[in-house]
Amino acid sequence: MNSKNAPTKIQVRVLVLCSAKYSGLIMLKYSVKRLKAMQKAVMYVFVLVIGVAIGIPVGVFVLSQQTPSMEEQVKVTILGIEYETSDSVLKIELLNDVPEKNLEGNVVVFQDEKQWTSEVTWYYTGYGEAEIICDSIDETQNFRITYIENNPKSTYLDRIIEWNEVSQTFFAFMETEEMKITSVVFPSIDNTTITVNVQNTGTTDVSIITTVTVSGLGVTGGSTTAATVGKGGTGIFSVELGTEEWSEGSTYTVELLSTKGNKFVYTATA
């Protein structure tokens, strides 16, 4: 090697120092980039955690507002109370404000250390009725009434009752006569007869008188046997048209009349 072109010790030392300096700068730059990337990752994770922590409770709250719980949907209220002193029977009339939800549960009456229980009979229109034999109930002290649903087991009613709220004539005013004709059948073997199917949806029995109005294309009247349809029950009336005849494809309106003067109407095509 030509000694003339060989680097001096000073030159070598400068090169070594420069190389170390640049290597250090490169490492420092790489470390800074890596640190920034880690900071971004940490920031993303932090934002994600905060979003989840806030989003879940907000989502639950919104859903709870849009879809109320069953306890919020169902509300049972007391329409009236009657007490028969001679038999110690407490009659309680209830209303299910959401009649499309079928309820099945018990009414419980509390007074001091005593309690009495009875199942509730619910009718189609959302009315409920319970009769409880409350032997030795004290008519000078208030009592508490609760309604407890079996499935899911929930309390939908809890009320303190004062005796001045108890009426001896309550049910006479609260009984409602409601009935609907569910279908009318035109028997193919006899076109002088119509069969009427009914359902009592009220809180009292419905008594139908013999006169039945059937109007439409030549048919103007009919008769049936007087009968009573119990509350919550169903009934079938065979209407005799006499000398009149119904014809296939024609439309007829059937009108039943109760002893209280209420009319129940249905239109059907033969």
Question: Amino acid letter at 222?
Answer: G
Q: Is residue 247 part of a domain?
A: yes
Mean pLDDT of 211-216: 85
With beta carbons less than 8 A apart as the criterion, state whether 98 and 192 touch: no
Radius of gyration of the chain (CA): 41
* Domain harbouring 153, CATH code: 2.60.40.10
- By C-alpha distance, which of 114, 115, 97 is closest to 106? 115
Q: How many domains does the chain have?
A: 3
> Which two three-digit tokens encode residue 235?
């009934």
Report the C-alpha gap between 267 and 183 in whole angstroms: 9
Q: Which of 143, 174, 205 is the last residue of a domain?
A: 174
Q: Within 13 A of 78's CA, how many CA atoms are on the CB side?
A: 23
Residue 1 has pLDDT above 70, yes or no: no
- By C-alpha distance, which of 175, 174, 178, 170 is closest to 229? 178
With beta carbons less than 8 A apart as the criterion, state whether 146 and 155 touch: yes
Residue 199 has pLDDT above 60, yes or no: yes
pLDDT-derived band of residue 198, with 50, 70 and 90 as boundaries? very high
Residue 68 has pLDDT above 80, yes or no: no
Least trusted range by pLDDT, from 84-93, 122-131, 258-267: 122-131
Based on the fold, state whether residues 221 and 258 are members of the same structural domain: yes
- What would the pLDDT profile of 165-191 be if each residue is shown by its tens digit? 786 444 444 567 788 899 999 998 888
Give me the pLDDT at residue 143, please. Answer: 93
Q: How many residues does the chain have?
A: 270
Based on the fold, state whether residues 229 and 264 are members of the same structural domain: yes
With beta carbons less than 8 A apart as the criterion, state whether 254 and 196 touch: yes
Q: Is residue 1 part of a domain?
A: no
Report the C-alpha gap between 74 and 93 in whole angstroms: 16
- What would the pLDDT profile of 33-46 be if each residue is shown by its tens digit? 666 666 666 677 66
Based on the fold, state whether residues 209 and 197 are members of the same structural domain: yes
Based on the fold, state whether residues 37 and 89 are members of the same structural domain: no
Q: For tokens 């108890």, name the residue.
A: 166
Q: Is residue 2 part of a domain?
A: no
Based on the fold, state whether residues 187 and 167 are members of the same structural domain: no
pLDDT-derived band of residue 96, with 50, 70 and 90 as boundaries? confident
Domain range spanning residue 237? 179-269
- What would the pLDDT profile of 12-26 be if each residue is shown by its tens digit? 454 545 555 555 555
Q: Is residue 96 part of a domain?
A: yes
Q: Which of 110, 139, 174 is the last residue of a domain?
A: 174
